[in-house]
């Protein structure tokens, strides 16, 4: 009997990430959240922290090593994207 291979049994295929999916990473963000929203998919993956809204761009190879679990996006309705942060004070 063999153990299940995890998220991606065939390592030759990329991890199946889609816009709007949420991923749980192995280590939490400094704000304490460990879930991220997928905003861009390609050679690099853009993620938004679900705790503080921080945006990061990470190479796909790094994400594929760090993902613990994928929560698929809902099939109906808009993507659950947080509003952009307020602009910085131009008077500085």
Domain membership flag for residue 53: yes
58 has which bridge partners?
45
Burial class of 83 by CB neighbour count within 10 A (0 to 12, 13 to 18, 19+): exposed
Give phi and psi for 63, each to the nearest 5: -65, -40
Query: Distance between CA atoms of 25 and 20, rounded to whole angstroms?
Result: 16
Predicted confidence (pLDDT) per residue in 18-50, tens digit: 888 999 999 998 988 999 999 988 889 999 999
**Residue pair 7/56 in contact by the 8 Å Cβ criterion:** no
pTM: 0.68
Domain carrying residue 31 = 22-71
Task: Tell me what percent of the residues of the chain surpass a pLDDT of 70.
Answer: 67
Overall number of domains in the chain: 1
Domain membership flag for residue 81: no
């Amino acid at each position: 009997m063999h153990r299940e291979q995890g998220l991606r049994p065939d390592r030759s295929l990329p991890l199946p990430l889609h816009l709007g999916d949420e991923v749980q990473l192995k280590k939490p963000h400094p704000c304490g959240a460990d879930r991220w929203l997928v905003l861009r998919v390609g050679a690099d993956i853009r993620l938004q922290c679900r705790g503080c809204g921080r945006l990061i761009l990470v190479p796909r190879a790094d994400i594929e090593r760090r993902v613990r679990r994928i929560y698929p996006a809902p099939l109906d309705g808009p993507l659950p994207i947080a509003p952009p942060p307020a602009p910085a004070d131009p008077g500085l």
